[in-house]
Amino acid sequence: MSEHSLELKGSLFPLSVLHCTDASAATLGPLLSAKLAQAPGFFYQAPIVLNLQDCVDVPDFAALKHLFSELKLVLVGVTGASASVKTAAQQAGLAVLQAGKAATTKSAASEAHSTSSSAQSAQKTAATHSLAAQPVMMDSKVVEQTVRSGQQIYAKGADLIVKGAVGAGAEVIADGNIHIYGSLRGKAIAGASGDTSKRIYCYNMQAELVSVAGNYWLSESLQGEFWGKPACIKLQDETLVISELV
Amino acid sequence: MAKIIVVTSGKGGVGKTTSSAAIGTGLALAGHKTVIVDFDIGLRNLDLIMGCERRVVYDFVNVINGEANLKQTLIKDKRVDNLFILPASQTRDKDALTKEGVERVLNELAQDFDFILCDSPAGIESGAMMALYFADEAVVVTNPEVSSVRDSDRIIGMLSSKSRRAEQGLEGIKEHLLLTRYNPERVQKGEMLSVEDVKEILAIELIGVIPESQAVLNASNSGQPVIMDKDSDAGQAYLDTVQRLLGEKVPLRFLTVEKKGFIKRIFGG
């Protein structure tokens, strides 16, 4: 290996793709800073790819680069651009990226266009790993009181902590884990956006329904050893597993 | 500054109007100038329970629409000083209440009265929302059975999200649980939820337990608030409740099965 002082290898990195219809710095500026204000710090110095599919005019890339650096973002390239826009982007020192399979969703357009299947599968793990590696923590949503019948609480992209109970006929939903320090008598849905590693913890299990990443149990499946006791629900080999809280 | 208390439950038939009449009368008996407002537009009952149905001339909706003033509309109770009733309209429906109208009437009442008791209609629709919107405190009337408890849970959720205090980010409505139609014998047999069960589920402070009692029906039929029947268990339980509402510490009564004495066991009691 010591012979190789230089090595060029294809890798896949998750990148945030910004979709917009008007890519002028004047329009984009306020919209983007409002968006960033919703999750301050989350996109700090994040590499961004601009998707110009829906844009008609050739944007002023110098102004855009300035805008992005002001907002503490790194504009690395463009995608979905027409031929004239591509040239302008390249002149401004930006990479032109081909839209990957996942480019229409939130992230993961690749700079190196590897098509090998191993790289494809690596894409997904790389995405989760690098998210975990980011030092930015998403705040958990904390509910101070009891969640009453008829109320619905959704923790988007975060864990949910309920200090009270969750009443019969109430629903608590989180993209992350759910922690309930009172009784769970209603419905609890963890990993709502499909994350199978998420769990539900509660101090007193009497749920109407529990679900992790779409796999659910109704109350009758829970009536057993752990009914009315502290319990944890997780997903193992695509089936729900209940265990006690130690 | 008048205190606005809503008497609510979600479910119908649990004893909201009976409790409004009893608590309102109790507060007046304790020397506080009190008005009970019937929010059940279209299903006017409070006047019957209070025994003043023949004295209704104008109603709440008339006042809101400016067709009558409060002085003309308020009915003064003949038995208790300091007690007034603002009757509901029997001919209109709940949409006749507007937030602005209700606010104006309550503000006007607040200048004169110590306590404004809002007798809420059942349900969670506009009428019930209107009754709880301006409240400072709430008495959540619940029967010891599962459907009533669940509906109460729902209404407690509404109290903490749909009220003026919630919308303006003020300190939340103070919620009190009033358990009515409690039958210790049936609780003992496991046919009814116990006080502890209900308290555990609803997790709000208990202000009173009213035993199931023949006296309540008798009182309703005769148009006499049950709290005035001081010999009855229900009447005494309401008196205790009013004292707790006024901040006094009174131990709970009527929670256990009364042991029948020797004579009663032989001759039947």
Q: What domains appear along chain A, each with residue ranges and CATH number?
A: 16-103 (3.30.70.260), 139-244 (2.160.20.70)
pLDDT confidence of A111, banded at 50, 70, 90? very low
Which of A145, A147, A148, A152 best tests the B interface by mutation, with the highest count of B CBs <10 A? A148
Q: What are B71-82's pLDDT values in tens digits?
A: 999 999 999 999
Task: Determine whether the interchain pair A149/B160 forms a contact, defined as Cβ–Cβ distance below 8 Å.
Answer: no
Burial status of residue A20 (CB atoms within 10 A of its CB: 0-12, 13-18, 19 or more): middle
Distance CA B247, CA A237 (A): 57
CB contact, 8 Å: A114 with chain B?
A: no
Q: What pLDDT does A24 receive?
A: 82
Contact status of B201 with chain A (Cβ, < 8 Å): yes
Give the ranges where B134-229 is alpha helix by DSSP (H). Answer: 146-159, 164-167, 184-188, 195-202, 214-222
Query: Residue A35 contacts by C-beta under 8 Å, 6 or more apart in sequence?
Result: none
Q: Which residues contact B111 (CB under 8 A, 6 or more apart)?
A: B2
Per the structure block, which two tokens stand in for A196?
């199978």
Check B201 against A167: CB less than 8 A apart.
Answer: yes
Contact of A153 with chain B, judged by CB distance below 8 Å, is answered with no
The mean per-residue pLDDT over the stretch A227-244 comes to 94
Is B174 at the interface with chain A, CB within 8 A?
A: no
Per-range mean pLDDT, top range of A49-58, A70-79, B234-243: B234-243
Per CB-CB distance under 8 Å, the chain A contacts of B161 are 151
Provide CB contacts within 8 A for A186, sequence distance 6+: A147, A149, A166, A167, A168, A169, A170, A171, A172, A207, A208
A103 pLDDT above the threshold of 60: no
Please identify among residues 110-139 of chain B the ones whose CB lies closer than 8 Å to any CB of chain A: 124
Q: Which residues of A touch B124 (CB under 8 A)?
A: 150
Of the residues A143, A144, A146, the best mutation for testing chain B's interface (the one with the most B CB atoms within 10 Å of its CB) is: A146
The mean pLDDT of chain A is 81
Does the beta carbon of A146 lie under 8 angstroms from any beta carbon of chain B? yes
pLDDT tens for B206-236 read 999 999 999 999 999 999 999 999 999 999 9
> Taking a C-beta distance cutoff of 8 angstroms, is the pair B211, B254 a contact?
yes
Chain A residue with the nearest C-alpha to that of B157: A148
Is residue A168 less than 8 Å (CB to CB) from chain B?
A: yes
**pLDDT of A102 strictly over 50:** no
Residue of B nearest to A148 (CA): B157
Residue-wise pLDDT for A64-77, tens only, equals 888 888 888 888 88
Cβ-Cβ contacts under 8 Å, A145 against chain B: 160
- Is B157's Cβ below 8 Å from some Cβ in A? yes
pTM over cut 0.80 = no
Report the interhelical angle of B233-245 vs B16-29 (nearest 10°): 70
B201 to A185: CB separation less than 8 angstroms, yes or no: yes
Size of interface A-B (CB pairs under 8 A): 39
pLDDT at B260 over 80: no
